[in-house]
Structure 1
Amino acid sequence: MADETESHGRPRQADAALVLGIGGIAASVVPIVGDVVAILLGVTAFVTGCVGLRISERQVRPGIAPALTGTLLGVLAIAVVLFGLIAMTVRPTG
């Protein structure tokens, strides 16, 4: 099996989730094209964050914080995009 850790002992998936989550949040504020990118980055951040959490918990190593943060940022990026899409389609009456 390939080495899953960097020199500081955290799983690479935890760091990847954090980077992807930050990218997803940044892309979620860009109209149209950013929405697609934010959804892709958000889902990828969520998946890699869950994998990083599982590895960190199973092997009792540091890395839970970046994995959890990346997972939550991925979910937040998806939520921001969905909120924006719903806000664009709903028109106020009156």
Structure 2
Amino acid sequence: MYAFRKPFTIALFNDLDFFGIDYKIALVLFQVLGYAFSKFLGIKIISELENNKRKYYFLGLIIVVELALALVLFAITPRPYNAIFMLLNGLPLGMIWGIVFFLS
């Protein structure tokens, strides 16, 4: 799960901005907003998960992070418009954290 958190931080985004904000800062802000939204969703969704289904939700959310939404679409969408996909990256990652934390 941690490998999917900040793969964009190794790239250089020189002289890019997102509506007046440094592009890399915008990426981090969008991801943090995704985490924040996931906490509100997680209160309902994660707390109601049955123990035998948690591993499937965990794997499903990892697949959403990598394949379906966030990182693939982030990679193929032109900059700076791909920043919104970091929000979609933070949402499932925050839910995954909820599953892991709730299990321990």
Q: Which has the larger radius of gyration?
A: 1
Q: Using CA pairs under 8 Å that are at least 6 residues apart, name the structure with larger relative contact order, 1 or 2.
A: 2
TM-score for both structures, normalised by structure 1: 0.50
TM-score for both structures, normalised by structure 2: 0.46
